[in-house]
Structure 1
Amino acid sequence: MGKTAIILGATGLTGGILLKKLMKDSSYTKIKLFSRSSVKIEDDKIEEYLIDVLQLEKYNKDFTAEEVFCCIGTTAAKTKDSSKYKQIDYGIPVAAAKLAKENSIDTFVVMSSMGADATSSVFYSKTKGEMERDVLHQKIKNTYILRPSLIGGNRNEFRLGENIGKGFMSFINPFMKGGLAKYKMIHPEKIASGMQKLARNNKNQSIFSSDEIVQIANSTI
């Protein structure tokens, strides 16, 4: 019998790409999506739960699978209220990890960000670092945290600052080698592919930098 996967954030850029990859992957027979809005895709594998994801713990009976992929994330520009921001970027992944532990789900793959540090004085980096810390605290057997740098690709929403950054990074990316490789802009397809491959092949490592994500995505494992 095939596996069941849970995706949080399937309506986003990376989560949407991951969903399409898992739909094509014959090892999965069911993909549960927990989100506020529908992905609007008809497929026999997809089982949607349209809920308030800030109250994920209320759906513990439905939160069953072999693997969880958490692609949740917002921005300071989109969510200006810092408490709301933390509810999303910290609260949802940690609540998902707690449910995964409670329901004996052995694999948890979550997107974080380069520079995540629970001791940082920068709110964004601190929030991501605290999320990582408390996800790891659940001691789920296979926990993988991905720390991508600036994410490329085309979003449905316009982000001026991000678009300027992407333009600049596209120019300098070819020159970023060696120790600078982890700062290169990364395409969301690489992140999604890395998540898929990590879930398939157990690794001893828990946290992966942007350049390591690309290596895994490009590997044949």
Structure 2
Amino acid sequence: MAGQPAVAVAADARVALVAGATGLVGREILARLLADKSYSAVHCVVRRTSGTEHPKVVTHVITDFATFQAPVVDDVFIALGTTIKVAGSQQAFRAVDFDAVVALARSARAAGATRLGIVSAMGADTASPVFYNRVKGDMEDAVSQLGYDSVVFARPSVLAGDRAALAQATRPGEQLALVAMRLFKPLIPRNYRAVAAADVAAALVRAVQAGLPGRRVLLSGELRPA
């Protein structure tokens, strides 16, 4: 009927912000939020145009996360991440996986956000001898101090998804791990098995929407369907 909104939403709908919507998990998070009537708008923060067109989407293409001023939102989902190989150095890797994530979470909190969900990594630990895991652990600790009512970290194992469709370079280590997991799946503990990007997104969105107070970590086994 004429005069009706293009997308029906709940009367008490929330506003979300998603960062990293051009990635494997980020695009799945965005799709779920756009289909969810409990959200009236979704601010999409990307480093390159995602191409997503939807009545609820407001796209912010930025190059400097340190100076980005987040709009007023309720829930924040961050799926930013790279690899040391792609970034080119440990310093460049940390600039994305720590600096950008923390800056964005801080900006959104200052704008009023109360619930935060972040895609981290299995093995995240500030005391880890592995640089990648140590950076992820530092990030988790830093954003946990920002004052959110509810913070959820998803720590997936190897991600299963179509990187080629996103014009992302294949990751040889990831491909080898996926092959090994298919061959030896019964012998691999649940937390170490490959997990679909869509399942990670679904579990993280559910956890953020639950809004349990404090800090919560979802291990890879918890991200998989029962």
Q: Please, what TM-score do these two structures have when normalized by structure 2?
A: 0.88
The alignment status of 1:167 with 2:179, answered yes or no, reads: yes
Q: Secondary structure at the match of 1:59?
A: coil
Structure 1 segments (4+ residues) deviating >3 Å:
none
- Aligned position for 2:142: 134
Q: Secondary structure at the match of 1:56?
A: coil
Question: Structure 2: any 5+ residue segments left out of the alignment?
Answer: 1-10
Distance in 2 (alpha carbons) for counterparts of 1:163 and 1:186: 13
Asked if the contact 1:173–1:185 (Cα under 8 Å) also holds between the matched residues in 2, the reply is no
The worse-fitting range, judged by mean Cα deviation, of 93-102 and 124-133 is 93-102
Comparing both structures, which one devotes a greater share of its residues to helix? 1
- Aligned position for 2:40: 29
* 1:38 to partner: Cα distance: 1.2
Asked if the contact 1:31–1:47 (Cα under 8 Å) also holds between the matched residues in 2, the reply is yes
The worse-fitting range, judged by mean Cα deviation, of 125-134 and 76-85 is 76-85
- Tell me which of 182, 195, 206 is aligned to 2:204: 195
Give a deviation string over 1:112-136, Cα, whole Å, max 9, x none. 1011111112110110010011011
The alignment status of 1:39 with 2:50, answered yes or no, reads: yes
- Aligned position for 2:100: 92
Give a deviation string over 1:16-62, Cα, whole Å, max 9, x none. 1111111111111111111121111211111001111xx224232x4
* 1:173 to partner: Cα distance: 2.3
Asked if the contact 1:3–1:29 (Cα under 8 Å) also holds between the matched residues in 2, the reply is yes
The alignment status of 1:68 with 2:80, answered yes or no, reads: no
- Aligned position for 1:6: 17
Asked if the contact 2:79–2:118 (Cα under 8 Å) also holds between the matched residues in 1, the reply is yes
The worse-fitting range, judged by mean Cα deviation, of 6-15 and 37-46 is 37-46
Distance in 2 (alpha carbons) for counterparts of 1:174 and 1:153: 21
Q: Secondary structure at the match of 2:102?
A: helix
The alignment status of 1:77 with 2:85, answered yes or no, reads: yes
- Aligned position for 2:217: 207
- Aligned position for 2:61: 50
The alignment status of 1:16 with 2:24, answered yes or no, reads: no
Distance in 1 (alpha carbons) for counterparts of 2:186 and 2:38: 36
Give percent identity, aligned residues only: 26
Question: Structure 1: any 5+ residue segments left out of the alignment?
Answer: none
* 1:100 to partner: Cα distance: 2.6
Q: Name the aligned partner's letter for residue 175 of structure 2.
A: N
Asked if the contact 2:43–2:57 (Cα under 8 Å) also holds between the matched residues in 1, the reply is yes
Aligned CA RMSD, in angstroms, stands at 1.5
Asked if the contact 1:33–1:48 (Cα under 8 Å) also holds between the matched residues in 2, the reply is yes
Size of the aligned set, in residue pairs, is 210
Q: Name the aligned partner's letter for residue 107 of structure 2.
A: L
Q: Please, what TM-score do these two structures have when normalized by structure 1?
A: 0.89
